[in-house]
Structure 1
Amino acid sequence: KHCFQKSTTTSLSYIVRDIALVCTVFYMGTQIQYAPSFALRCALWALYSVFQGFVFVGIWILAHECGHQAMFDNGAANDTFGLIMHSFLGVPYFSWKYSHARHHRFTNHMEKDTAFVPAKKDDGMHLMSKVQDKVKAIFHMTEDAPIVSLIFLVGHQLIGWQAYMLFYASSGYKSLANFKDPRTTSNLSHYSPFSPIYLPSQRLAILVSDLGLIALCYGLYYATQVMGLTQVALLYGLPYLWVNHWLVAITYLHHNHGDAEHFEQGTWTFEKGALATVDRDFGFVGRELFHGIIEFHVVHHLFPRIPFYHAEEATGAIQPMLGKKYIRDNTSFLKALWRAWTQHQYVVDHETKPGVLVWAK
C-alpha cells in the first residue's frame, strides 16, 4: 500500500530538479561559442548534446508518469504538468497517453499491442506491413554484413520515434481504438484528432495536444530570431535527436528478450503480457536521470500507477513472488540493443505451448 502513495512534494521536487538541470546545461551550452578553438567547440557540443539528451529524456519520463496519473493524486495536475513537459519535447501529450494506455492494456498481444509487435515468419500482421516487408527483405539479403546492420539500426534509432508518431508503425493490426476495417491504413497519425487510433470522445484532447506543439514551434521560431538558427539547432536540435534514440532503444528493449514471449488472442492475458517485460541496468544515468524506467519496468507494467520513486521498493517486494517469471538481463544496454536488433528478427510458434510465440533462433 505504501508504494502506491504519491507525494506532491516529492513529485514536484523531481520536476523542479530536472527543469533546473535543463536550464543549467542550457546555460553552459550558450558559453560553448566562446571556446578558443573549433576542435574544442565540436567536442563541447558533442558532450553537451549527450548530457542534455539524458536530461531531456528524464523530463520525457516524468511526463510519461503524469500520463499514467502516477505523479499526483489530482488528475488535472498530472495532465497539466504532463502536457507542458511533453509539449516542450515535441510530444503530443494526450495522443501519446491514449495510445500508450492501450499498450499497457495489451502488452505483447500479437494483434492488439500498439508498438513493436514482432513479425511472424512469412506473415505481415502490422499496419504498414507492406513497407516493413520491403525493408526487411533488403535487410535479410544483407544481414550478414555488420555495417549494413549498423546502418539500419542507426536509421531505426533516428527516425523510429517519428515513424511511430506519424504512421503508427510496428503496431498490431487490431490495435486501433476506433477500429473498423483491418485494411484501414490511412490517417494513422498521432497528431490527427480524426485518426482511428482514438475514440471520437478523445478528439478534443488530441487537439489540445496539437496546440501544445504549435506553442513549441512558435517558441523555437522566436528563439531562432533571437539566437539564430544554428544556435537553436545545437542547443535544442542535437539533444532532441538523442531523445529519439533513447526512447526507441528503451522501449524496444523493454519487451525484446529471448525469454519474453508474445501471445495470440486465445492465450494472452494481462498478467502474461505484463510479465513479458524486461528489467535491465543502465547505471547512474538509468537510475538518476532516467528515473529507473529501465531498471524497474516490470513492476511498472503490473502497477502503472505506482510512482517511479517507489518502483525499486515495489520490485523488491514482488520479485520473490514472481520467481522464474521475473525477467532481468544484466547485459550492457547497448550490447543488448545490438543483439536484439541482429538476432530477433521474427517470432515463431512455441514448440509445446499453443498460441505462444518466441523469438526465432
Structure 2
Amino acid sequence: MSSNTINLNHIQSAESSQDSTKLPFTLQDLKAAIPAECFQPNVGKSLFYFFRDILIIGLLYAVANYLDSWFFWPIFWLMQGTMFWALFVVGHDCGHQSFSKHKWLNDLVGHLSHTPILVPYHGWRISHRTHHKNTGNIDNDESWYPVTESQYNEMPSAQKIGRYYAFLLAYPVYLFKRSPNKEGSHFSPSSPLFKPAEKWDIITSTTFLIGMVALLGFLTYQWGWLWLLKNYAAPYIVFVIWLDLVTFLHHTEPELPWYRGEDWTFLKGAISSIDRDYGLVNHIHHDIGTHVAHHIFLNIPHYNLLQATEAIKPVMGEYFHKSEEPIWKSLWRSAISCHFVPDAGGQVYYTSNNK
C-alpha cells in the first residue's frame, strides 16, 4: 500500500463499531453499492485526460501569441488559468494513486502536472493526505477548518478580511506557511508536515519547482516582465482563484457539521463535504465538484466519480449533501455566514455575527 493511501479495511472496521447507532449506513455499505469497476483506474483514460489538458494548454498559448491582441489576452488568461486548474486535478488523482496502479507513473505524471503550475507535488500530496485522514475534524484537519468563536473575537480586523474575503489568493501562502495556527512549509523536508522517510520525496519536488522558477526567470530575462505577465502570471492567478474557490466550497457550508474529539469518525468527516455544480466547467475540471464520493473513497479516479455518486446517493439519503445554487451565490453566502463555530460541543456548525 502506498504511503498516501488510507487503510480502508481498518477504517471499515472502526466505522462499523463506532457509527452503527449514529449513521444508518457504514463505509462497507457504501462500498458495496458502488460497481467494482469504479475503483479500477484505466491508464488509457487517465493518460487521455492528461494529454488532452496539455494539448489544450499548448493550443491556447499558440493562439494567444499568434494574435498578440489585448482584446484576446484577458480571455486567454481566464481560459488558460482554468486549464491550469484542470491540470492540477490530474495531478490530484496522481497524488491519491488513482491515476494508475503504478506508483512510478503516478509520481511522474504528478510532477509533470504540478511542477509547471508551481505546486510541489510530494509536499502537497502528503499534506493533502492529512486533510483526507482528518476531514471534518476541527482540531486535526489540514485546510479550510473553522476557528472557534473566541479565536474569531480575538482576531485582528485585517486578519478577518484576509481569511473571509481575500482568501481566493491564499494558496501560495499556504504552501509556504501552511494554514493558520499550524506550522510548516511544503518545500522543506524538516517541516513537521513530513516524516523523516519522506525527506527525499520533498527534496525531489522542491528541486523540480526551483527548476521551474529558474526557467521562468530565464524566459523573463529573455523576453521581459510583460511576457511573464501575459503568458504566466495572469493565468497563474486565475488558477489560484479556482483552486481556493473550489476547495473552500467543498467544506464551507452552514449545513455541514464539524466534529471534536470522540464525536469525530472518518466516515462522519468524509460525508461532511458537499457536491457543487460548476455548469460548463464541470467536465473541463474533471468533475472535481463531485466531492462527497471522492472523500469517502479517494482511490476512485475522477472519471468514475459521477457513477459512484449515483450509486451511493440512495444509501446515504439525507446525509448526502449537494447544492444546486449558483456558485457565486454559494460563495457569498458562505463568506458572510461561515465565520466560526462554538467554543464547545462535539458536533457543531458554522455561524457568524452577521446572523
For normalisation by structure 1, the TM-score amounts to 0.84
1:165 is matched with which residue: 175, 184, 190?
A: 175
317-326 vs 210-219, greater mean Cα deviation: 210-219
Give runs of aligned pairs for residues 89-108 of structure 1, distance below 5 A.
Answer: 89-108=117-136
Question: Secondary structure at the residue paired with 1:86?
Answer: helix
The answer for the alignment partner of 1:67 in structure 2 is 95
Question: Aligned ranges for residues 64-213 of structure 1 at < 5 Å?
Answer: 64-123=92-151, 133-135=155-157, 139=160, 155-158=166-169, 160-170=170-180, 185=183, 188-213=184-209
SS at match of 1:357: strand
Q: CA deviation at 1:300?
A: 0.3
Letter paired with 2:313: Q
* Structure 1 position 94, deviation (Å): 0.3
Coordinate RMSD, CA, aligned? 1.9
Does 211-220 or 247-256 show the bigger shift? 211-220
Determine which of 237, 242, 245 is the counterpart of 1:246: 242
Query: Within 1, Cα distance between the matches of 2:61 and 2:245?
Result: 24
Letter in 2 for 1:14: Y
- The one-character-per-residue Cα deviations of 1:106-151 (angstroms, maximum 9, x if unpaired) are 0010111001110111137xxxx98xx2246x74xxxxxxxxx7x8
Mapped contact 1:117–1:170 kept (Cα < 8 A): no
CA offsets per residue over residues 232-285 of structure 1, 9 Å max, x none?
221111000011111111111101112110000110000000000000100111
Total equivalences in the alignment: 317
Q: 3-state SS of the aligned residue for 2:246?
A: helix
Question: What residue is the counterpart of 1:50 in the other structure?
Answer: 78
Q: Describe the shift of the 1:259–1:163 C-alpha distance in structure 2 as closer, same or farther (beyond 3 A).
A: same
What is the identity, as a one-letter code, of the residue corresponding to 1:12? Answer: L
Residues in 2 aligned to 1:29 and 1:224: alpha-carbon distance in whole angstroms: 17
Cα drift, residue 334 of structure 1: 1.7
- Is 1:320 paired with 2:314? yes
Correspondence for 2:278: 282
C-alpha contact (below 8 Å) 1:61/1:291 kept by paired residues: yes
What amino acid does structure 1 have at the position aligned with 2:224?
G
* C-alpha deviation, 1:89, in angstroms: 0.5
Question: What residue in structure 2 maps to residue 236 of structure 1?
Answer: 232
Give 1:10's aligned amino acid. Answer: K
Report the residue type matching 1:293 in the other structure. Answer: I
Number of the residue aligned with 1:292: 287
* Aligned-partner residue type, residue 172 of structure 2: Q
- Offset of 1:152 from its aligned partner? 7.0
What does the per-residue CA deviation read over 1:5-32, in whole Å, with 9 as the maximum and x for residues that have no partner?
1111111111110000000001111123
Q: Helix, strand or coil for the counterpart of 1:77?
A: helix
8 Å Cα contact 1:349-1:355 kept in structure 2: no
User: In 1, distance between residues paired with 2:156 and 2:165?
Assistant: 18
Offset, 1:211: 0.7
The amino acid across from 1:263 in the alignment is Y
AA partner of residue 11 (structure 1): S
Residue type at the aligned position of 2:277: D
Q: Is the 8 A contact 2:286 2:302 kept in 1?
A: yes
Q: CA deviation at 1:154?
A: 5.8
Is 1:343 matched with 2:337? yes
Query: In the alignment, does 2:39 pair up with 1:4?
Result: yes
The answer to whether the 8 Å contact 2:149/2:343 transfers is: no
**Cα 1:201–1:252 shift into 2, 3 Å:** same
In structure 1, the gaps of 5 or more residues are 36-40, 140-148, 174-184
Bigger drift between 309-318 and 115-124 goes to: 115-124
DSSP 3-state at the match of 1:31: helix
Task: Find the residue that maps to 1:10 and give its secondary structure.
Answer: helix
Q: In the aligned structure 2, how far is the partner of 1:123 from the partner of 1:220?
A: 40
